[in-house]
Structure 1
Amino acid sequence: MELMYQVEDKPPLPISVLLAAQHLLAALGAIIAVPLVVGGVLGLPTQDMVILVNAAMLVSGVVTILQCKGAGPVGIRLPCVMGTSFTFVGVSIAIGFEHGVAGILGSALVASLVMIVGSFFMPFIRKLFPPVVTGTVVTLIGLSLIPVAVDWLAGGQVGSEGYAKPANLMIGLLVLALVIALSQWGRGILAAAAVVIGIVVGFVVCIAFGLVDFSPVKEASAVALPSPLHFGLSFPISGIIGMSVAYLVTIMESTGDFMALSDATHRKLTGKKLSSGILCDGLGSALASVFSTTPFSSFSQNVGIVAISGVASRHVVAITGGMLILAGLFPVLGALVVAIPLPVLGGAGLVMFAMIISAGISMLSRIEFNRRNMLIIAVSIGSGMAVTVRPELLSYLPEFAKVALASGITTGSLVALLLSGILPGREAVVLEDETEA
């Protein structure tokens, strides 16, 4: 797909703000969901929940800017949104029940060294990803996100009240149709901002029919100041081990996200760039612990926005980081975004996430479809989707294995790497020039 704005382009400020809003709308709900889930399960008081959520938005903004703009060896310098990661939910809850929030944050802080140290080995790890593995992983990322978009479009989780009622489906399909129409037939900013326009129109329709709950906006405080070390830090050995496993999983998932982003932005992903991105991820997670929230990773869903909008400018997504900081300092702004009904986000999310699948298929189209490569693709995607749609498969595994394999992306990636390494006829991989900007 031809890009409207390249990675180094700087669109006019009003246009940049509009384009940045697309990424904010796609990411904010997921960013605050992790601290809400962890805090809710642990039964934290409202004041502590607010601190977790505000810190998540604030630090997400800071790390997003660092990832996009870069500082020395830190930051991949691509349009990458960073936020709290669901990979850490299960282990955080387990640690929290025994050691409290201080145990979660202390364990995450120490274990972030796994990602920080691991970042220096990414040039070697990058060599393990020939095109057949890369394309398979990117396809899996998109496939794993589709159930999320479907649940959004239907109005919540399967079994929840009103799931898939006609009104939800009609609103979601309206947004979906609008995004498709603007992307296909729109020109200039209309095509580039298709996602945010679709979401705004869907939001307005929901307001007109009285389907928007504005209570989060009314309850949100006007200003929230950061609260570093609010919960304190403790360092249980069991918690550090659990978090270390989760960080290893995150390295795999972030590597897949960065590969998908590389393809969407038409930029080569060298081992050096990959190291910079993973290092930023690890340092961002350490910063999150200090500022009283859960660990971070890159956001797959925002890769879909780059793909469908043709806007690859890292400077645009850096503005998204600024918006996240504002949402953390002024929670009422974030609450307004959270008030957007799920079917509205689902309509846009379905096409965004499906675009990641398209990117993966495009990458796979460049390889030779011989028996070996077809086996790698088939078994890897089958394994990843098995875990995604039937997570109960892992019920009797040890806890560390559940954490490691809970993500279909990770499971499928590990299978792809294993098969690529042991099946005869392994592809020669030429690592791109490490000095390329």
Structure 2
Amino acid sequence: MEEKLSQSLSAIDRKKLQQVTERREREQDGLELTYHIDDKPDLFTTTILGFQNVLTAFGGLVAVPLIIAGMAGFGVADTAYMISTALFVSGIVSIIQSKGIGPKGFRIGAGVPTIMGTDFGFVAPANAVINTMGGGIAGYFGGTMLGALLEIGLSYFVKPLMKFFPPVVTGTVIALMGMTLMPVAFDWVGGGAGAADFGSPINLAIATLVFVIIIALNHYGSQRIGPAAVLIGIVVGYLVCIPLGMVDFSQIAAADWFAFPRLFKFGVNFDLRFAIPFVAGYLVTVIETVGVMQTIGEVTQHPLSDEDIANGVRADGFGSFIGPALGSGPVATFSQNAGLIPLTRNASRVVAIAAGVILAGMSFFPKLATIISIMPLPVLGGAGILMFGTVAGAGIKSLSRVKFNNRNLLIVSASISIGLGVTFRPEVVAGLPGILNGLFSSGISAGTIVALVLNLLLKEKAEV
């Protein structure tokens, strides 16, 4: 008995020593964090950094409910309600994902700093259910809730699948995560795809100003200022846009003062027919969430176990179930906020929890949320370039630890090529039938699938 206990303690000591060694190696590589995952900054710093997370995620949080409300033919009041509910659900699920709740085996949340929000991957099937299939908004909510049960079920199969994600695959997925988001950042820089003034000199100048401020403060700022560089850059850019007439304050006056979520406000229709179009979306979400979790583990210097990643996928499914019930939509892990961690050197989960509290609180005050929602897109674009670039950089650094023999070079090259190709020319795969269209419609999921398949098919050659 004593011998077994000694061996067990020895194993624990070795694991702790390995973790300390890995942390020191990362710090020597120039990746030292100001706030590590278990650190608790003071209340003021936590609030400021939490609000920074909210600002960088806000565009994605409000965009999807706006689109869905338009599909459903909602008026101003119902659209505003849907946006407020999206903020509330995003806040609650961000807290759960960042903290982690529940017993082992049924735990929800990976316990790493994460921001959750509505996902664009469900927009196309939403249109099919609401309009083409005649399910309306009630069919959309019912279909996504049934689909969420599928994702929760799939979370229990993530752990055995993680053996198919060696470093060459995970590094490639992390790099793709940042690279495939670059078109989004440059859409913001230009002023938004389809904007009349897209790419105008003033839009480029605003984005450049924010970009330069963030770089300067991040590199030369003090330990207190550096982590808030993104927030400061965005605030300065926003203020500069006001006298230039780029901010429409009339939208604030039109917003309600208070809004509270209600269960099944728009009704719900649990018809299995309306769940089928969302199956591919949930499969893609599982793949992408695994990639985001691995990315966050890398940039927080807190490697996640297979079980942690499964818990993260389960939080996605849980959020996607309660979101439609309250009048929002399915949620997913936001990859763009992972870029804030290495950029601001802040990996504290307390900060992400604070961001969740801010989001949930803002949902009750639509006027406050509107102030952020009218932020000119070039401001967000200047920050987005750096955020997404740091995610790509984290992937490249992860790949630098992989031995680049012929096999691994083929895996990385093919995966990145196809992932970026689908991102830049999505119409190429638009004609794929059924579930294949859903799986390959995202550059991240397409590249990940290619990496997984090649990792299985290409056998290691014996060293000569």
Give TM class, smaller chain.
Answer: over 0.9
Partner of residue 13, structure 2: none
Question: What secondary structure sits across from 1:164 in the alignment?
Answer: coil
Equivalent in 280, 284, 304 of residue 315 of structure 2: 280
C-alpha distance in 1 between matches for 2:82 and 2:161:
33
Does residue 227 (structure 1) correspond to residue 262 (structure 2)? The answer is yes
Task: Determine whether 1:14 maps to 2:44.
Answer: yes
Q: Which structure 2 residues correspond to residues 247-266 of structure 1 after superposition, within 5 A?
A: 247-266=282-301
Q: Which residue of 1 aligns with 2:129?
A: 95
Q: Deviations over 1:84-143 (max 9, x none)?
A: 011111111111112001111101111111111111112112111000000100111101
Within the alignment, does 1:329 sit opposite 2:364 as a pair? yes
1:207 aligns with 2:242: yes
- SS of the aligned residue for 1:297 comes to strand
Partner residue, 2:4: none
**CA–CA separation in structure 1 for the residues paired with 2:234 and 2:33:** 22
Q: Mapping of 1:96-111 within 5 angstroms?
A: 96-97=130-131, 98-111=134-147
* 1:207 Cα deviation after fit: 1.4
Question: Residues 42-191 of structure 1 correspond to what in structure 2 (within 5 A)?
Answer: 42-72=72-102, 73-97=107-131, 98-157=134-193, 159-191=194-226
Please provide the CA RMSD for this pair. 1.3
Give yes or no for the alignment of 1:398 onto 2:437.
no
Partners of 2:235 and 2:64 in 1: how far apart? Answer: 25
Equivalent residue letter for 1:309 = T
- How far the C-alpha of 1:171 sits from its partner, in A, is 0.6
What residue in structure 2 maps to residue 431 of structure 1?
Answer: none
1:311 aligned residue: 346
For residue 282 of structure 1, report the CA deviation from its aligned partner. 0.5
Task: Select which of 405, 416, 426 maps to 1:381.
Answer: 416
104-113 vs 45-54, which deviates more?
Answer: 45-54
Counterpart-to-counterpart distance in 2, 1:62 and 1:126 = 27
**Alignment partners' CA distance in 2, 1:426 and 1:364:** 19
| Displacement after TM superposition at 1:53 (Å) | 1.1
Q: Partners of 1:51 and 1:101 in 2: how far apart?
A: 14
User: Residue 90 of structure 1 contacts residue 403 of structure 1 at CA under 8 Å; is this kept in 2?
Assistant: no
In terms of mean alpha carbon deviation, does 35-44 or 142-151 score higher? 35-44
- Which of 22, 41, 53 matches 2:71? 41
Secondary structure at the counterpart of residue 369 of structure 1: coil
Letter in 1 for 2:58: L
Opposite residue 351 of structure 1, the aligned amino acid is L
Query: Once the 2 structures are TM-superposed, how far is the Cα of residue 210 of structure 1 from its aligned partner?
Result: 2.5
Inter-CA distance 75–426: structure 2 relative to 1 (3 Å threshold):
farther
Q: For residues 50-69 of structure 1, what are the alpha-carbon distances to aligned partners after superposition, in whole Å with 9 as ceiling and x for unaligned?
A: 22211101110000011111
Tell me the distance in 2 between the aligned counterparts of 1:150 and 1:122: 34
The answer to whether the Cα contact below 8 Å between 1:112 and 1:244 also exists between their aligned partners in 2 is: no
Q: Report if the CA contact (8 A) 1:420-1:426 is conserved.
A: no
Alpha-carbon distance between aligned partners in 1 of 2:129 and 2:363, rounded to the nearest angstrom: 26
Q: Give the SS at the match of 1:208.
A: coil
Q: Distance in 2 between matches of 1:224 and 1:388?
A: 37
Deviations 1:329-367 (A, max 9, x none): 111111111121100100011001000000000000000
Q: Give, in whole Å, the separation in 2 of the partners of 1:128 and 1:52.
A: 39
- Partner-residue secondary structure (3-state), 2:216: helix
State the 1:28 CA deviation: 1.3
**What percentage of aligned pairs have identical amino acids?**
40
3-state SS in 2 of match to 1:156:
coil
Q: Is 2:128–2:277's contact at 8 Å kept on the other side of the alignment?
A: no
2:440, 2:250 → 1: CA distance? Answer: 37
The AA in structure 1 aligned to 2:269 is: S
What do the CA deviations read for 1:69-88 (whole angstroms, capped 9, x no partner)?
12121111110000001111
Question: In structure 2, do the counterparts of structure 1 residues 94 and 49 end up closer, same or farther at CA, with 3 Å as the change threshold?
Answer: same
Contact 2:80/2:366 (<8 A) preserved: no
Matches within 5 A, 1:407-422: 407-422=442-457
Q: What per-residue deviation string (whole Å, max 9, x for no partner) do you get for residues 222-280 of structure 1? A: 10011210111112333211212211110001111111100010011111101111111
Bigger shift: residues 76-85 or 209-218? 209-218
Q: Is the 8 A contact 1:91 1:403 kept in 2?
A: no
Aligned partners of 2:144 and 2:187: how far apart in 1? 30
Give the Cα–Cα distance (whole angstroms) in 1 for the partners of residues 149 and 279 of structure 2.
Answer: 8
CA distance in structure 2 between the partners assigned to 1:216 and 1:402 by the alignment: 38
- In the alignment, is the contact (CA less than 8 A) between 1:115 and 1:282 conserved in 2? yes
Preserved CA contact (<8 Å) 1:153 1:342: yes
Report the Cα distance in structure 2 between the residues aligned to 1:100 and 1:120, rounded to whole angstroms: 32
* Distance apart, 1:33 and its partner CA: 0.5
Unaligned runs of 5+ in 1: 428-437
Q: State the AA in 1 paired with 2:302.
A: R
Deviation at 1:426, TM superposition (A): 8.4
For 1:422 and 1:29, how far apart are their aligned partners in 2? 40
Q: Which runs of 5+ in 2 are unaligned?
A: 1-30
- Provide the secondary structure at the position in 1 that maps to 2:164: coil
- Off by >6 Å, runs of 4+ in structure 1: none
Q: Provide the rounded CA distance (Å) in 2 between the counterparts of 1:52 and 1:403.
A: 25
Q: TM-score, normalised by structure 1?
A: 0.95
Q: Which has the larger radius of gyration?
A: 2
